[in-house]
């Protein structure tokens, strides 16, 4: 029982670490995309048209 509990804890820990990494990576990509392509291309076309 103890070993299975440790396995569950390990899985949870790894999952949290991976999800945090993915969140940070998403933020990073978002920023680079924003810098490279600018605001208008990043937004949905309909939103861009309504704004313009």
Break the chain into its structural domains and give their ranges.
2-51
Mean pLDDT of 1-20: 89
Q: DSSP label at 52?
A: -
43 Ramachandran zone, left/alpha/beta (phi>0; psi -120 to 50):
beta
Query: What residues contact 34, with CB distance under 8 A and at least 6 apart?
Result: 42
Q: What CA–CA distance (Å, rounded) separates 42 from 27?
A: 14
Mean pLDDT of 12-35: 89
Q: What CA–CA distance (Å, rounded) separates 45 from 36?
A: 17
Backbone angles phi, psi at 44, to 5 degrees: -65, 145
Average pLDDT in the chain: 78
pLDDT at 52: 42
pTM above 0.85, yes or no: no
pLDDT at 5: 87
């Amino acid at each position: 029982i103890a070993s299975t509990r440790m396995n569950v804890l390990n899985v949870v820990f790894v999952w949290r670490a991976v999800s945090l990494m993915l969140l940070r990576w998403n933020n990073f990509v978002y920023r680079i995309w924003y810098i490279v392509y600018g605001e208008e291309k990043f937004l949905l076309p309909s939103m861009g048209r309504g704004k313009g």
